[in-house]
Amino acid sequence: MQTSFSLAQLADADVAESEKILRSCVHCGFCTATCPTYVLLGDELDSPRGRIYLIKNMLESGAAADATTVKHVDRCLSCLSCMTTCPSSVHYMHLVDHARAHIEKTFERPLFDRVVRKLLALILPRPTLFRAALVGGILAKPFAKFLPARLGAMLALAPDSLPTPSPMDRPQIFPAQGQRRMRVALLTGCAQQVLSPGINEATIRLLTRHGCEVAVAAGAGCCGALTHHLGKSDAAHESARKNITAWLGLWDGVGPDAIVINASGCGTTIKDYGFMFRDDPNWAASAARVAERAKDISEIITSLGLAPANVPKKLTVAYHSACSLQHGQKITTLPKSLLMAAGFAVRDVPEGHLCCGSAGTYNLLQPEIAGQLRTRKLANIARVRPDVIAAGNIGCMTQLAGGTQTPVVHTVELLDWATGGPKPEAIA
């Protein structure tokens, strides 16, 4: 694709990066076939190619974003299915991240939207605030139908009850069982530890059982993905800096052999820390070290070799492949192989490349499209008649669990169960 940026514009490192990405697109349109919003809406402007044109025009003009561009960029799930499909390796993720940051700086949203986005950026990354907000949401849920549609849709996503916080999410070191094979830091995250503390507990048990000493580092918290995808770059960088400092300071500054992530949306962002800080001389090297050591839990357990497993109950598992895992990190087979090695009967979900509609805060900000995608995903899951649905990302788990009676669990909960841990709570 031809571009026409001025030399002055290209002096900005972010614009220069986006220009490179734009030039790599040959507008073949292959990506449209696998883009969930194009599949649903059939509008070229809701396809990757259409968005790339809108972003190009917005960045070339150097002007404030217009309402049309904002509408179609906002409808993008950042599912990155287009990156898997694109034969020209267009780095759509970095392009849309830049577009969102430009929109955030230059576009004045309606007051309601501004307030909602500010509240989400404030509350979701902070477990104490998020818990308090969910308690309010649970109390208000019965009145959802009397509220404006968007508020009602948000309340519908609140769980019916909240689990008690886990003491395992507090900063501490868990010793390895038997001979120590690795020292790892666990990202305990933000929203996940409030919604489903059993996931981190299962992860810690699984890791220590496989010979890992596991640290929950003081000072680490949200990875920054939630604010990053809202275009709030400063807040995302601040979260990332805290994590980098906390993790690299572990074990007297030696740092962990790996940083283990069990929420794939977070993993995609942490693996991109090196890019996020590429122009910051104070942080670039540390950020790159963290990004190199960041691993999804399925990568770590595969590298260690799954311990002997004995599935207490032969279950058929529908494996839902989170977009951030399959498209963002290109991890497609490892979780399924581990589940099969553990003794579960694993089924692929038809149309597995399409997003379930969760996508960070997307199901809160775009509830109609998110709802359609969930319905489609659950219909596809039902076709494989599972006893249980497994996924590697809390966002997907919450999104799917809200629309089905089939238990939804994290992959690590099944692996932990099969190798000696307790039965996941969601399974009766």
37 binds ligand SF4 (CB under 6 A): yes
Q: Which of 51, 56, 183, 237 binds ligand SF4 (CB under 6 A)?
A: 51
How far is the C-alpha of 161 from the C-alpha of 155, rounded, in Å? 13
Q: Taking the alpha carbons of 416, 417, 423, 427 in that order, is the dihedral positive or negative? A: positive
Q: Which of 71-79, 137-145, 195-203, 234-242 is the region at the interface with ligand SF4 (rule: CB under 6 A)?
A: 71-79
> What is d(CA 160, CA 137) in angstroms, rounded to the nearest whole number?
9
Minimum separation from the CB atom of position 383 to ligand SF4 (A):
23
Q: What is the DSSP letter of 2?
A: -
Q: Which residue has the tokens 């995808």?
A: 229
Closest to ligand SF4 by CB, 78 vs 203, is: 78
CB of 59 to ligand SF4, least distance (A): 16
Give the nearest distance from C-beta 62 to ligand SF4 in angstroms.
23
Site for ligand SF4 (CB under 6 A): which residue of 18, 22, 36, 58?
36
Distance CA(10)–CA(19), nearest Å, equals 8
Smallest separation, CB 22 to ligand SF4 (Å)? 9
Does residue 200 touch ligand SF4 according to CB under 6 A?
no
Q: How far is the CB of 157 from ligand SF4 (least distance, A)?
A: 20
Question: How far apart (Å, rounded) are the C-alpha atoms in residues 313 and 197?
Answer: 23
Tokens linked to 280:
């910051």
- Selected from 17, 21, 59, 81, the binder of ligand SF4 by CB under 6 A is 81
Nearest to 319 by CA among 299, 304, 295, 340: 340
- As a dihedral over the C-alpha atoms of residue 155, residue 117, residue 330, residue 352, rounded to 10 degrees, the angle is 40
Size of the site for ligand SF4 (CB under 6 A): 25
Q: Per CB under 6 A, does 88 bind ligand SF4?
A: yes
CB count, 10 Å around CB of 143? 11
Contact segment (CB under 6 A) with ligand SF4 among 74-82, 100-108, 264-272, 418-426 equals 74-82
Residue 28 binds to ligand SF4 (criterion: CB under 6 A): yes
Shortest distance in whole angstroms from residue 149 CB to ligand SF4: 22
Q: CB within 8 A of 282, min separation 6: which ones?
A: none
Q: Which is nearer to ligand SF4, 203 or 264 (CB)?
A: 264
Q: Which of 90, 36, 72, 121 is nearest to 323 (CA)?
A: 36
Q: Does residue 90 bind ligand SF4 (CB under 6 A)?
A: yes
User: Should residue 376 be labelled a site residue for ligand SF4 when binding is judged by CB under 6 A?
Assistant: no
In angstroms, what is the minimal distance from the CB of 27 to ligand SF4? 5
Q: Kindly report the three-state secondary structure assignment for every residue of 79-146.
A: CCHHHHHCCCCCCHHHHHHHHHHHHHHHCCCCHHHHHHHHHHHHHCCCHHHHHHHHHHHHHHHHHHHH
Site for ligand SF4 in 292-321 (CB under 6 A): none
By CB under 6 A, is residue 49 in contact with ligand SF4?
Answer: yes
Whole-angstrom Cα distance, residue 176 to residue 334? 23
Shortest Å, Cβ 388 to ligand SF4: 27
CB 265 within 8 A of CB 322: yes
Let me know if 387 is exposed, middle or buried by CB neighbors in 10 A (0-12, 13-18, 19+): middle
Instruction: Tell me how long the chain is.
Output: 428
Q: Select 90 or 287, whichever has its Cβ closest to ligand SF4.
A: 90
25 is an interface residue for ligand SF4 by CB under 6 A: yes
Part in contact with ligand SF4 (CB under 6 A); list of ranges 85-93, 313-321, 393-401, 412-420: 85-93
Contact 73, 55 (CB under 8 A): yes
- Rule CB under 6 A: say whether 168 interacts with ligand SF4: no
> According to CB under 6 A, which one of 82, 204, 287, 412 is a site residue for ligand SF4?
82
Q: By the criterion CB under 6 A, which residues form the site for ligand SF4?
A: 25-31, 35-37, 48-49, 51, 76-82, 85-86, 88, 90, 92
